Amino acid sequence: MVKIRDDLQVDYSVLANVKERIEVLIKERFKGKYDMLFHADVLRKISDQFEFNEKVLFELRLKVQVLVLYMGTMFAKAKTDKYMARKDWLETHKRMSELLQVIRKPVFVKSLKEAYTVQTSKSSSMADDQDENEFESRQNFDIERQVFSSLSNYMEGLHDQLWRAYQSLVPTNIEYL
């Protein structure tokens, strides 16, 4: 029996659907066997339909994760092409602006501060418990720690893609202007 993917027909206004689909997409990405165009379409649909509550940190993290995955997919797609198409560039820029708005929310800013606070060392008798707690706290703040490095890479990538598109234009065409 052939299993048909219905990712584009799923209602992504429901949090459980978003969580489940993101986990599936991440697993496919790690395996390396995924269709970039399909992933981009699914992530775009999730981003458009998912209305997050800006006071709930989990939902903010999920929105950030969706946007970062989408931009990463778009840049991976651009590697297979000569350069990122104008439509894709504008869409990626829009999503990057959306990501910047999301990470400015007070709940996410508070979480960012917690993620980057320096933990003071405790007594050696509590070292094992501290290691376990530190590992758990690292996992809790993975998204917060990844967002700035991803943002800087994506901003640089957008600049490079714009430059490549500009270089490929013929100077006598109207597009050149």
The DSSP result for 88-132, as a single string, is: HHHHHHHHHHHHHHHHTSHHHHHHHHHHTPPPPP--GGGHHHHHH
pLDDT-derived band of residue 130, with 50, 70 and 90 as boundaries?
A: low
49, exposed or middle or buried, with CB in 10 Å at 0-12, 13-18, 19+? middle
Q: Is residue 72 part of a domain?
A: yes
> Domains in the chain: how many in total?
1
Q: Can you read off the two tokens belonging to residue 125? A: 């008798």
Write down the pLDDT at residue 60. 86
Given a cut of 70, is residue 113 above it in pLDDT? Answer: yes
Instruction: State the average pLDDT over residues 39-58.
Output: 87
What does the CA dihedral 106, 108, 113, 115 come to, rounded to 10 degrees?
Answer: 170
Model pTM score: 0.76
Helix (H, G, I), strand (E, B) or coil at 66: helix
Q: Is residue 65 part of a domain?
A: yes
Q: Is residue 69 part of a domain?
A: yes
pLDDT-derived band of residue 94, with 50, 70 and 90 as boundaries?
A: very high
Given a cut of 70, is residue 136 above it in pLDDT? Answer: no
Given a cut of 60, is residue 146 above it in pLDDT? Answer: yes
Write down the pLDDT at residue 140. 66
Q: Is residue 79 part of a domain?
A: yes
Q: For 25-42, what is each residue's pLDDT tens digit?
A: 888 888 887 888 888 888
Q: Can you read off the two tokens belonging to residue 147? A: 């967002």
Question: Could you list the residue range(s) of the whole structural domain that residue 166 is in?
Answer: 9-116+137-170
Q: Is residue 77 part of a domain?
A: yes
Q: Is residue 121 part of a domain?
A: no
